[in-house]
Amino acid sequence: MESINLLRQAKHLLRLYSVFPKKRLGQNFTVDLDILYRLTSHASLTNADIVLEVGAGLGFLTQLLSRECKKVIAIEVDPQLVSFLRKRLYSLQNVELLEGDILKVSIPKFHKVVSTPPYSISSTLLFRLLESKFECAVLVLQKEFAERLAASVGTKDYGRLTVNIYYKADVELLDFVPRTMFYPQPDVDSIIVRLKPRSPPFQLDDETIFFDLIRTLFNQRNKKVRNAITPFLRKREIAKGDAMEFADSLIYSTKRVRELAPEDFGILANELLLKL
């Protein structure tokens, strides 16, 4: 594969098998070999690893992964591409090709994720993956989305997604990937992101309250906590006047939502559990 121009090969394969990239499935195939090598390098693969690939596409990354790990579990939702991949990858004994939607199928045990998934499922995919135990995920994600994952407190990109992911994993933004590295070319640039699941960095007495609180508060991220939290309190059948008085009594009541660090939301959620 090293000596082949991947863009030329991608176009040839698409014509040969009468496969047409489907915009509704977010099919933008990576056609830069250096990007594929960076993905495998950032994952620090060993010959003992079982690697999950979401969206096998034309199989370029699948082939590379098969050389560097014990087994590749490649999931592809497009039946036309699955048919193509069965022919293309038939000689690779350590590749298991599964047809289905990653958000719906049962995922076999894996150690690492290396993938260039469709942008449209990025958020749902991350939380789906984080339901499983694994060492790390190295993914190509839309630049704006990736920056939200690792945003600093108070910045425009800081929000519910940042806090939710922070509670579950460490996030590293590694390499910029220009849109020209894909075919067809998308409208946005990307970033290679590495996620490493870990234990929560702070204690929560009730995760349900925590996640519900974040969802409510970030709907009004520029308001002070005492104002933004009112819908959360009213949903718990606290009368309007009582809710306002209750909100004023809370820690961080005069801070704006965007100014709270993830740990602050945890403290606030634990306080609410005691007082409600």
CATH code, domain carrying 77: 3.40.50.150
Average pLDDT for 168-185: 97
CA distance 110 to 151: 28
Final residue of a structural domain among 177, 197, 217: 197
165 and 255: one domain? no
Question: What phi and psi, each to the nearest 5 degrees, are found at residue 222?
Answer: -90, -5
168 and 217: one domain? no
**pLDDT tier for residue 247 given thresholds of 50, 70 and 90:** confident
20 inside domain:
yes
Between these two residues, 91 and 274, which has the higher pLDDT value? 91
Inform me whether the pLDDT recorded for 202 exceeds 60.
Answer: yes
141 and 266: one domain? no
pLDDT of residue 275: 79
Final residue of a structural domain among 165, 197, 229: 197
Share in percent of the chain as helix, strand, coil (round to 5): 45, 20, 40
pLDDT of residue 37: 97
1 inside domain:
no
125 inside domain:
yes
Q: What is the mean pLDDT of the chain?
A: 94
Inform me whether the pLDDT recorded for 1 exceeds 60.
Answer: no
**pLDDT tier for residue 167 given thresholds of 50, 70 and 90:** very high
180 and 212: one domain? no
Inform me whether the pLDDT recorded for 172 exceeds 60.
Answer: yes
pLDDT of residue 181: 96
225 inside domain:
yes
47 inside domain:
yes
Average pLDDT for 179-202: 97
234 and 186: one domain? no
**pLDDT tier for residue 243 given thresholds of 50, 70 and 90:** confident
227 and 151: one domain? no
Distance of CA 163 to the CA centre of its chain: 13
Inform me whether the pLDDT recorded for 2 exceeds 60.
Answer: no
pLDDT of residue 240: 62
pLDDT of residue 3: 41
Inform me whether the pLDDT recorded for 43 exceeds 60.
Answer: yes
Is the pTM for the entire model greater than 0.85? yes
101 and 192: one domain? yes
Residue type, 174: L
Asked if residue 13 lies in contact with residue 72, where contact means CB atoms within 8 angstroms, the answer is no
154 and 35: one domain? yes
Cα atoms in the 13 Å half-sphere on the side-chain side of 29: 23
Least confident of 106-110, 141-145, 245-249: 245-249
Final residue of a structural domain among 197, 226, 251: 197
pLDDT of residue 244: 80
136 and 219: one domain? no
179 and 252: one domain? no
224 inside domain:
yes
Inform me whether the pLDDT recorded for 271 exceeds 50.
Answer: yes
Inform me whether the pLDDT recorded for 195 exceeds 50.
Answer: yes
Count structural domains, the chain.
2
Strand pairing partners for 193? 139, 173
Average pLDDT for 27-42: 96
Average pLDDT for 167-183: 98
| Cα angle 117, 44, 113; round to 5 | 25
E strands along the chain, which residues?
29-30, 50-54, 71-76, 95-99, 112-115, 136-142, 169-177, 182-183, 190-197
pLDDT above 70 coverage of the chain, percent = 97
15 and 37: one domain? yes
Range of the domain at 43: 6-197
146 and 219: one domain? no
Specify the CATH number for the domain of residue 239: 1.10.8.100
202 inside domain:
no
